[in-house]
Chain A
């Protein structure tokens, strides 16, 4: 009892002495006019990505972006003769949040408060981005070109004016699959296997919207959690439902696993549909290893970027530039056929363009204003795709083509469509 009293007394004394003095406001150390993250010769930007864990197949994205930024820092601009953007080198800081939104919050705070970034660029993951969207809004820090196709970014720009998206959104994409099925295989029995979060559900919503009155074509829809280690139960049930079309609204690693499992439970669907995020050569190669090349050939998806491994694009200027940039400015010993590096380069291209629109003396507000004034051609995207936004249209990329997989590449099998 005496020990306790002594301890409490001591704490009380310490508190009364130290507390008043300890309540000090942190003082700003920067000049009042300075824009955080912008100096005469640098622009500091940051992002959070799943470099480890179940979503780590996305890890090449920030590295692709890094290679492109290195290239921009080294080359001289044709018009101004300066390196970087108007003479400012891009400093790119990215951290591993393991796809855990709790980690994303801590790391984003680190980027904003400690690294003092000008903006966060390309952060990956619907839920991680959602977790820090209010933080960006409160601190008025741009959260641009996020690496997720959730429709939130394009639809909720009024409530969250500091956040902007980039790629085609999942709902629009789901509608494209619906349209394609209705046109090409209207008697299909569809079995959907989707990730049990906003990513998977957005896609499913789009598919159901697109099918409209023919929604009953979906004979079964089953979900999985990212933490699940086996999908055998769901895929068996999908097979038993009589479905002949397997639609996969799954992230990369689960996609390869699901295809392998589908084969293993003895199912041979007539048609496999894979969402565009996972329709990369890496994933398909993994699926082919698990289920055999014949099983995965013929799978259908959509795309808005050139397929950098397709022989058709071997001599394409942009794909050749991509290979040069990765070879000269990317990390050593990597596989540049991995589409996620290409995705990173394509996105970095658009960020650099945005900074040019923001002008010689960029501010955070000017960068966000630029996201509503996008109007150019990205050479890494499919021919005909235009990166375009306006005050009322906040979907920079909303066009694409239906593509079919065969022996290592995706071939375009439709005309360019407009998703929104």
Chain B
């Protein structure tokens, strides 16, 4: 391989990112309102899945509680964007030590929700150090299961089961674009920023440390990597991304309530991350596409008899998961990576683990 090939090889990643960016920018020209809504949700779940990917795919910590992080972000955004005056309309009276203002523009709640959720993630990350593998999975599952219950328990802050209706979204600053387009770009720009952040983190020393810990903690320690630091940090980053996704979700759907984040969300997110491809940032995009489109379009598949048609989305998801695990252990993203590598090197190699090019 000569220098030209190598540089071309290195350029593929950014080129793809560019192409995707242009595609996203031009999408609204060709799509109706509902489709745009769906793609806005895709952006939101790309952000959430990037977080999960970093936690489970890069640093090797299994998390069945990601939905709870998304929920924390959503509630934070909801409470902040309404502010105390807005919450009074729901007869809610959070304790005065919670620093709620008078309501703020939804867009500013996104970074704050990310920060708050990130701190929450760090808090979870510390005790998680003592757990590994299945124990960690169970502990995070417990968080996911208890999240709706805790939200209902503190109903005077969260609105309990009735939830909180946010103000319906509208284009800020009087800009002349439709609200639907504004939400679409808001979500995708955030996704782009998060993607770049994830890329910077994973390609550098931090990413190498994560992968070293994932692949063999003892070996990592003996190479001078401090696992406690990096694992906790992974939890924090993962939670921060999920928090940003949650905030966008709250802004988009304009409603949060404990049953919007049941334990099923955490499980579906993990399944989507795995199908999309753990250890690959592009995998988050495939996972998000699956997560958003599959449940709706699997509702009335022709081959299912009447009796089971209702359960079809769950079955289809399950079948997908099994097929991908058998045929493409690295997920959909790795299939495409293998294609790229084959184009570059003229060889087709099947990879059974996440590649070091990640």
A residues neighboring B (CB under 8 Å):
3-4, 6-8, 10-11, 14-15, 18-19, 21-26, 51-52, 56, 59, 95-96, 99-103, 105-107, 109-110, 113-114, 126-127, 130-135, 138, 196-199, 201, 225-227, 331-333
In the bound complex, what is the Cα–Cα distance between A96 and B298 (angstroms)? 11
Tell me which residues across on chain A come within 8 A of B17, comparing CB atoms: 7, 10-11
Contact with A along B4-41 (1 / 0, CB 8 A): 00000011011101100110011011001111011001
In the bound complex, what is the Cα–Cα distance between A332 and B306 (angstroms)? 9
Task: Tell me if B311 is interfacial: C-beta within 8 Å of chain A.
Answer: yes
Check if B161 sits within 8 Å of A22, measured CB to CB. Answer: no
Check if A19 sits within 8 Å of B25, measured CB to CB. Answer: yes
Contact A198-B168, Cβ < 8 Å, known A3-B13, A14-B22, A225-B152: no
In the bound complex, what is the Cα–Cα distance between A133 and B11 (angstroms)? 49
Query: Which of chain A's residues has its CB closest to B313's CB?
Result: A52
CB distance from B252 to the nearest CB of A (A): 8
Check if B259 sits within 8 Å of A130, measured CB to CB. Answer: no
Tell me which residues across on chain A come within 8 A of B307, comparing CB atoms: 333
> What 8 additional pairs, Cβ within 8 angstroms, besides A23-B177, A26-B178, A110-B296?
A10-B15, A14-B18, A113-B32, A114-B35, A130-B162, A130-B163, A226-B259, A227-B263
Contact with A along B130-153 (1 / 0, CB 8 A): 000000000000000100110010
Query: Which of chain B's residues has its CB closest to A115's CB?
Result: B34
Query: Which of chain A's residues has its CB closest to B292's CB?
Result: A106
Check if B181 sits within 8 Å of A23, measured CB to CB. Answer: yes
Tell me which residues across on chain A come within 8 A of B354, comparing CB atoms: none
Q: Which of B14, B38, B255 lies in contact with A105, CB distance below 8 A?
A: B255
Check if A56 sits within 8 Å of B310, measured CB to CB. Answer: yes
Check if A102 sits within 8 Å of B260, measured CB to CB. Answer: yes
Task: Tell me if B257 is interfacial: C-beta within 8 Å of chain A.
Answer: yes
CB distance from A211 to the nearest CB of B (A): 23
Check if A127 sits within 8 Å of B263, measured CB to CB. Answer: no
Tell me which residues across on chain B come within 8 A of A109, comparing CB atoms: 34, 37
Query: Which of chain A's residues has its CB closest to B10's CB?
Result: A3
Tell me which residues across on chain B come within 8 A of A11, comparing CB atoms: 17-18, 21, 192
Central interface residue in B15, B255, B311, by most chain A CB within 10 Å: B255
Tell me which residues across on chain B come within 8 A of A10, comparing CB atoms: 14-15, 17-18, 21
Contact A96-B253, Cβ < 8 Å, known A51-B310, A196-B161, A197-B259: no
CB distance from B41 to the nearest CB of A (A): 7
Of the A-B pairs whose beta carbons lie under 8 Å apart in the complex, a sample of 14, sorted by A's number, is: A6-B14, A11-B192, A19-B25, A25-B177, A52-B310, A52-B313, A100-B260, A101-B255, A113-B34, A130-B162, A131-B257, A132-B255, A225-B148, A331-B306
Q: Which of B32, B149, B165, B299 lies in contact with A130, CB distance below 8 A?
A: B165
Check if B260 sits within 8 Å of A135, measured CB to CB. Answer: no
In the bound complex, what is the Cα–Cα distance between A196 and B149 (angstroms)? 9
Task: Tell me if B269 is interfacial: C-beta within 8 Å of chain A.
Answer: no
Tell me which residues across on chain B come within 8 A of A332, comparing CB atoms: 306
Tell me which residues across on chain A come within 8 A of B35, comparing CB atoms: 114
Tell me which residues across on chain B come within 8 A of A6, comparing CB atoms: 11, 14
Task: Tell me if B200 is interfacial: C-beta within 8 Å of chain A.
Answer: yes
Central interface residue in B18, B41, B177, B263, by most chain A CB within 10 Å: B18
In the bound complex, what is the Cα–Cα distance between A48 and B68 (angstroms)? 25
Contact A24-B28, Cβ < 8 Å, known A131-B253, A225-B152: yes
Tell me which residues across on chain A come within 8 A of B177, comparing CB atoms: 23, 25
Q: Which of B18, B26, B145, B254 lies in contact with A227, CB distance below 8 A?
A: B145
Task: Tell me if B301 is interfacial: C-beta within 8 Å of chain A.
Answer: no
Query: Which of chain B's residues has its CB closest to A56's CB?
Result: B310
Check if A18 sits within 8 Å of B180, measured CB to CB. Answer: no
CB distance from A56 to the nearest CB of B (A): 6
Going nearest first, the 8 A-B pairs with the smallest beta carbon separation are: A197-B161, A102-B260, A114-B34, A7-B14, A51-B310, A113-B34, A131-B255, A105-B253
Within B163-221, which residues are at the interface with A (CB < 8 Å)? 163, 165, 168, 176-178, 180-181, 192, 196, 200
Check if A22 sits within 8 Å of B165, measured CB to CB. Answer: no
Please report whether the interface of chain A is mostly helix, strand, loop or mixed according to DSSP.
helix
In the bound complex, what is the Cα–Cα distance between A294 and B28 (angstroms)? 63
In the bound complex, what is the Cα–Cα distance between A196 and B18 (angstroms)? 48
Tell me which residues across on chain A come within 8 A of B25, comparing CB atoms: 14-15, 18-19, 22
Check if B259 sits within 8 Å of A52, measured CB to CB. Answer: no
Task: Tell me if B314 is interfacial: C-beta within 8 Å of chain A.
Answer: yes
Tell me which residues across on chain B come within 8 A of A4, comparing CB atoms: 200
Contact A131-B163, Cβ < 8 Å, known A26-B178, A110-B34: yes
Central interface residue in B33, B168, B249, B262, by most chain A CB within 10 Å: B262
Check if B148 sits within 8 Å of A96, measured CB to CB. Answer: no
Tell me which residues across on chain B come within 8 A of A131, comparing CB atoms: 163, 165, 253, 255, 257, 260
Contact with A along B255-272 (1 / 0, CB 8 A): 101011111000000000
Contact A3-B14, Cβ < 8 Å, known A52-B314, A110-B34: yes
In the bound complex, what is the Cα–Cα distance between A96 and B307 (angstroms)? 14
Tell me which residues across on chain A come within 8 A of B148, comparing CB atoms: 225, 227
Tell me which residues across on chain B come within 8 A of A25, comparing CB atoms: 177-178, 181
Check if B163 sits within 8 Å of A18, measured CB to CB. Answer: no
Check if A96 sits within 8 Å of B299, measured CB to CB. Answer: yes
Query: Which of chain B's residues has its CB closest to A103's CB?
Result: B295
In the bound complex, what is the Cα–Cα distance between A138 and B176 (angstroms)? 19
CB distance from A252 to the nearest CB of B (A): 15
Tell me which residues across on chain A come within 8 A of B259, comparing CB atoms: 99-101, 127, 197, 226
In the bound complex, what is the Cα–Cα distance between A102 and B180 (angstroms)? 18
Tell me which residues across on chain A come within 8 A of B262, comparing CB atoms: 100, 226-227
Tell me which residues across on chain A come within 8 A of B13, comparing CB atoms: 3, 7
Check if B37 sits within 8 Å of A106, measured CB to CB. Answer: yes
Tell me which residues across on chain B come within 8 A of A127, comparing CB atoms: 161-163, 257, 259
Tell me which residues across on chain A come within 8 A of B261, comparing CB atoms: 102
In the bound complex, what is the Cα–Cα distance between A225 and B14 (angstroms)? 47
CB distance from A221 to the nearest CB of B (A): 15
CB distance from A353 to the nearest CB of B (A): 29
Tell me which residues across on chain B come within 8 A of A113, comparing CB atoms: 32-34, 37
Tell me which residues across on chain B come within 8 A of A132, comparing CB atoms: 255
Tell me which residues across on chain A come within 8 A of B28, comparing CB atoms: 22, 24
In the bound complex, what is the Cα–Cα distance between A331 and B11 (angstroms)? 57
Check if A14 sits within 8 Å of B34, measured CB to CB. Answer: no
Tell me which residues across on chain B come within 8 A of A51, comparing CB atoms: 299, 310
In the bound complex, what is the Cα–Cα distance between A25 and B36 (angstroms)? 13
Check if A134 sits within 8 Å of B310, measured CB to CB. Answer: no
Check if A18 sits within 8 Å of B26, measured CB to CB. Answer: yes
Check if B178 sits within 8 Å of A135, measured CB to CB. Answer: no
CB distance from A113 to the nearest CB of B (A): 4
